[in-house]
Amino acid sequence: MPTPSTSNPTAPISGCASGRCGSSTQQIDELDASTAQRVQDHPCYSEEAHKYFARMHVAVAPACNIQCNYCNRKYDCSNESRPGVVSEVLTAAQAVKKTLAVAAAIPQMSVLGIAGPGDALANPERTFATFAELSERAPDLKLCLSTNGLMLPRYVDQIAAYHVDHVTITINCIDPEIGAQIYPWIFWNHRRVTGREASEILISQQQKGLEMLVERGILVKVNSVMIPGINDQHLKEVSRVVRAKGAFLHNVMPLISDPAHGTHFGLTGQRGPTPQELKALQDDCAGDMNMMRHCQQCRADAVGMLGEDRGAEFTLEKIEAMQIDEHAAMGRRIALRAAINAELAEKRAARHAASAQVIALHRATVSPGRPVRMAVASSTGAIIDTHFGHAKSFRILEVTADSVHTLGTRAAAQYCGGEADCGEADNTLARTLASLADCEVMLCSRIGIEPWGKLEAAGIRPDGSHAMEDVASAARAVWQAMLESGQLANAPAHQRRA
Ligand code: SF4
């Protein structure tokens, strides 16, 4: 019987090359608290968990009720890792035996999934018999299933009754025209349905099933296969819709297409996406919802940590020879899980404390921009419509990153009062400059050269470039420009003078 590493059982062990595991701790941090708590020991849903916890799929579901153009369940290669591939199909009793054997040998085991090689819900007897027995004999294991969704509405209540925690639905489209290019037929109500009608039924069952699962509090992940030229432009819309209906994660996977696999797409030369195309689509969809990026597209009989396959250690022949103490094994798993979760919680707390410190430091050292006082020449206070020399008063604003606050108005002796006042002009201007001395900017519709120079010399920057604009918007734009040009790093000129 294989034994786990015991020198430091809570140390992360990962079969994944870390470069492939693109999900981040941020991914789990972005989930709401209750979802994050439910997926914290599910290796598929966080980078952290997949280094500590293992999962296995039991291949109890050989039959399928639809045909996808990318699938051929006859093909098996033990060197190949792709959904739909298995070495042994199991009965429910064999699946239970294998699960208990694996869970005894690998105490990091936290999740048991049924993911084929056909469809879990096209084989309901075996699927639910497996869940029924395991929920009695290994109640600490989380149960998952993957489905194409065709029979989902019929089985949602049974799924809930066995406390299945997560369901993955493969949804490649919500448009039956696109679906007709992916699904040549479905088996529905004892008959084979083809073409657009087949896709209409499938899509409607998938959407209904998704809604019913969410209503019952079951976590739903949506898988989509990206097929260039067929659904690549459409998957962003799929992401938007499934998120709106409550799916918590979307996993866009590349089409695996090779003539040797004997699939329709493989034989007709349909290409898969390049890594760049896949990433671009995942980035595009990420605006709409949490994206999973570290899926390993595991075999339907995968065993162990993500990225490793220990299936060969647990063939039916080998597990027959194993002596298993189920209760002791469950005790070990529960103790190990508690230790790992405590360690992860400590790491998360340290991470949060560190980021809080960084934020505090940032706030203390990096000014987000100080307030700027501005004078505005405006007849109404709403629009910058007044020539500096004609202004009877100036509205005084205090402008910050998120507010434009009026401090009051200040009377101005009109600088251009007509010929009779020309001799007084210099005095008038001097009085106005004095009354605006604490302002850094003066916004007006127009201004002459001479007063422009005098304002500048007094440390007040005249600005006539926002003529006839809304006062608040113009003030914000001027503040932003000052921030970006670094003018807000220093105290205002009048304070520096003082
Ligand atoms: S196929 Fe993807 S979702 Fe399923 S166990 Fe592997 S990584 Fe997790």
What confidence tens digit (pLDDT) does each residue in 90-111 have?
899 999 999 999 999 999 888 9
What average pLDDT does range 209-224 have in this prediction?
94
Position 79 scores a pLDDT of: 36
State if residue 110 touches ligand 1 by the CB under 6 angstroms criterion.
no
Tokens of residue 295, six digits = 């899926």
Kindly state if the Cβ of 55 falls inside 6 Å of ligand 1: yes
Higher pLDDT, 360 or 340: 340
> For residue 223, which atom of ligand 1 is closest to its CA?
3
**What is the rounded average pLDDT of the residues 130-137?**
94
Listed in sequence order, the residues at least 6 apart from 59 whose beta carbon sits closer than 8 Å to its beta carbon are 86, 88, 89, 90, 95, 116, 117, 300, 301
Angstrom distances, CA of residue 249 to CA of 19, 46, 53, 407, 425: 21, 11, 19, 49, 70
Q: What is the pLDDT of residues 415-459, one digit of tens each?
A: 665 544 555 677 788 888 888 989 999 999 999 888 999 999 999
List the residue whose alpha carbon is closest to atom 7 of ligand 1: 295
Host H or E run for residue 239: helix 235-244
Digit-coded pLDDT (tens) for 160-191: 998 898 999 999 999 999 999 999 999 999 99
Mean pLDDT of 44-48: 69
- pLDDT level of residue 66 (50, 70, 90 thresholds): very high
Would you state the structure tokens that stand for residue 13, as one six-digit string? 């062990």
Q: What's the 210 CA to ligand 1 centre distance in angstroms?
A: 19
486-492 average pLDDT score: 84
**Percent share of the chain, pLDDT over 90:** 39
Residue 120: φ, ψ to 5°: -55, -40
Q: Which atom of ligand 1 is nearest to the CA of 294?
A: 7
pLDDT score at 427: 79
Is 296 close to ligand 1, i.e. is its CB under 6 Å away?
yes
- With a 6 Å cutoff on the Cβ, whether 306 touches ligand 1 is yes
Pocket test for ligand 1, best of 108, 298, 308 (most atoms within 8 A of CB): 298
In this predicted structure, what is the pLDDT of residue 78? Answer: 36
Percent of the chain at pLDDT above 70? 82
Find out whether the peptide bond into 107 is cis, omega within 30 degrees of 0: no
The pLDDT tens digits of the residues spanning 13-38 come to 433 333 333 334 444 455 666 777 77
Lowest mean pLDDT among 195-199, 234-238, 300-304, 421-425: 421-425
Cα 128 from Cα 497, distance rounded (Å):
81
Higher pLDDT, 258 or 399: 399
CA of 310 to the centre of ligand 1 (A): 15
Distance in angstroms (rounded) separating the CA atoms of residues 399 and 395: 12
Predicted local confidence at residue 24, as pLDDT: 42
The ligand 1 atom at the shortest distance from the C-alpha of residue 168 is 3
44 Cβ inside 6 Å of ligand 1 = yes
Q: State the pLDDT at residue 410.
A: 82
Q: How confident is the model at residue 289 (pLDDT cuts 50, 70, 90)?
A: low
Residue 316 has pLDDT above 60, yes or no: yes
Tell me how far the alpha carbon of residue 55 lies from the centroid of ligand 1, in angstroms. Answer: 9
| Res 213 pLDDT > 90 | yes
Contact between 460 and 394 under an 8 Å Cβ cutoff? The reply is no
42-to-21, 48, 311, 341, 352 alpha-carbon distances in Å: 14, 10, 19, 11, 21
Is the CB of 81 within 6 Å of ligand 1? Answer: no
Question: What pLDDT score was predicted for residue 443?
Answer: 95
Give yes or no for residue 9 having a pLDDT over 80.
no
Choice from 46, 55, 144 to test ligand 1 binding pocket (greatest atom count within 8 A of CB): 55
Residue nearest to atom 6 of ligand 1 (CA): 298
Ligand 1 centre distance from Cα of residue 8 (Å): 26
Report the pLDDT value the prediction gives residue 82, as an integer from 0 to 100: 45
Report which protein residue has its CA nearest ligand 1's atom 4.
Answer: 298
Of residues 381 and 177, the one with the higher pLDDT is 177
Give the residue from 177, 171, 181 showing the smallest Cα distance to 245: 171
Atom number in ligand 1 closest to CA 115: 4
Residues 443 and 373: their CA atoms lie apart, in Å, by 11
| Alpha carbon nearest to ligand 1 atom 8, residue | 44
